[in-house]
Amino acid sequence: MFHKISKSTFAHLRGSLKMSASKISWREISAGKWARDFDPIEKTQNRLSLASPSMLQLVITVGATLSESEVIGDIKDAWIGLRYAHPMIGCTITTTGLEYEVLNVEELQKWADETVIYDNSDRSGKDLLLEKISANAPVARLFFMPDRREIVIVLRHDMTDGMGSLILLNHLIKILRQEKDVPRFGDEPTRLTPSLAEIMHAENPSIDATKEAHLVKENFTKL
């Protein structure tokens, strides 16, 4: 799920990180480059996603038919704008967690060129998505079918869920309908999603919570 957090909250998280050195918290590892490790849930989800090396098992797709025609340049600009608002779509997945890098104008255009798929074959989004998706596919891609006025966002399920995908689609359409305002990248890491374990303060659970979790597991495995 994509979570929007304020700059003050992010600053607090950065301060807490310096004290606790938690690996599941976002940290700046070099100028403009951020990283965090998977939390336990994300680690499990990632392994499920990579069950078959040649095919990504779990993806979320969400799409819409646009009310009017769009040109590919505007679609890419809106996609870049969506990355500024929701930088998680620009993350890369490593063997141990997530990384995000603040890009310059040329690098952002290259990212858009690689992740926006233009298809003018008159195939529907449904037909296009029947093709298997490689396990090393980007975190997020946008399919654009101009003749059908369709857009489809494809997201790795280990990065978001159905509700998160709808938030992204709605925001993308909103950006398309607004006056073009090119964002100034650099502060978007403040909107990188913290892990669920960090949000719930579950990295170091209490003894009582641990005992309760073991009890639930035992009862479940007896079924």
The string of DSSP letters for 143-167 reads EEEGGGTEEEEEEETTT--HHHHHH
CA atoms of 58 and 207, how far apart (whole Å):
34
Rg (CA), the chain: 19
Regarding predicted confidence, which is higher, 47 or 111?
111
Distances (CA, A) of 58 to 1, 30, 201, 220: 15, 31, 27, 25
Top CATH class of 7-201 equals alpha beta
Among 59-63, 85-89, 111-115, where is mean pLDDT lowest? 59-63
User: pTM of the entire structure?
Assistant: 0.80
pLDDT at 15 over 50: no
Contacts of 96 (CB under 8 A, 6+ apart): 37, 38
pLDDT at 42 over 60: yes
| DSSP secondary structure letter of residue 188 | G
User: Do the Cβ atoms of 80 and 172 come closer than 8 Å?
Assistant: no
User: Do the Cβ atoms of 144 and 75 come closer than 8 Å?
Assistant: yes
Regarding predicted confidence, which is higher, 91 or 207?
91
Regarding predicted confidence, which is higher, 201 or 132?
201
Q: Mean pLDDT, to the nearest integer, of 170-189?
A: 90
pLDDT of residue 199: 82
CA atoms of 40 and 206, how far apart (whole Å):
16
Give the side-chain half-sphere CA count within 13 A for 13: 24
Q: Mean pLDDT, to the nearest integer, of 84-106?
A: 96
